[in-house]
């Protein structure tokens, strides 16, 4: 059986990492790289994101990477936590750009940037 005959991805030969990546990529706005970032933070499922603090996740990822990351990653994390923490969703809140900061300060601009 395969995707063509079953209409779904078979996970028989997938590694645990690939399973986790696919699970995390179910979240709107989360692609392969963001899913990898979430794995690097220790998250392996949507369920594990329930009730998490997106700011802390963002700051932890910045420390892990050794530089200040684009704030868009924070917005994706906010969207991901919202998705994981709720059973019904406002479609507008499933768009990561709707989680942007209203009044950004420039304090984060003076820190080491990853060059993204």
How far is the C-alpha of 27 from the C-alpha of 66, rounded, in Å?
26
Burial of 45 (0-12, 13-18, 19+ CB in 10 A): middle
| Structural domain includes residue 1 | no
Q: Is 79 a member of any domain? A: yes
Q: Per the domain annotation, does 109 fall within a domain?
A: no
Give the pLDDT score at 15.
Answer: 87
Q: Is residue 43 part of a domain?
A: yes
* Alpha-carbon span 15 to 44, nearest angstrom: 12
Question: Whole domain around residue 50: which residue ranges?
Answer: 15-104
pLDDT in the model for residue 111: 45
How far is residue 96's CA from residue 34's CA, in Å, rounded to a whole number?
12
In this predicted model, what pLDDT tens digit does every residue of 17-38 receive, in sequence order?
999 999 999 999 999 999 999 9
Confirm whether 84 is domain-assigned.
yes
Model pTM above 0.85: no
Residue in this structure with the two tokens 């994390």, named with its chain if needed: 77
How many independent structural domains does the chain possess? 1
Residue 111 lies in a domain: no
Q: Residue 60 falls within a domain, yes or no?
A: yes
Collapsing DSSP to helix, strand or coil, 107 comes out as helix
Residue 41: half-sphere exposure toward Cβ, Cα within 13 Å:
26
Query: Which residue is listed with tokens 């963002």?
Result: 58
pLDDT higher at 9 or 78? 78
Residue 72 lies inside a defined structural domain of this protein: yes
């Amino acid at each position: 059986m395969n995707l063509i005959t079953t209409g779904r991805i078979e996970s028989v030969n997938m590694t645990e990492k690939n399973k986790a990546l696919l699970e995390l990529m179910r979240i709107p706005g989360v692609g392969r790289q963001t899913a990898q970032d979430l794995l690097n933070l220790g998250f392996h499922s949507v369920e594990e994101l329930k009730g998490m603090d997106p700011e802390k996740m963002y700051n932890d990822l910045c420390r892990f990477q050794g530089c200040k990351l684009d704030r868009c990653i924070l917005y994706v994390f906010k969207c991901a936590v919202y998705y994981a923490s709720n059973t019904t969703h406002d479609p507008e809140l499933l768009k990561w750009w709707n989680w942007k900061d209203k009044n950004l300060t420039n304090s984060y601009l003076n820190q080491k940037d990853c060059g993204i």
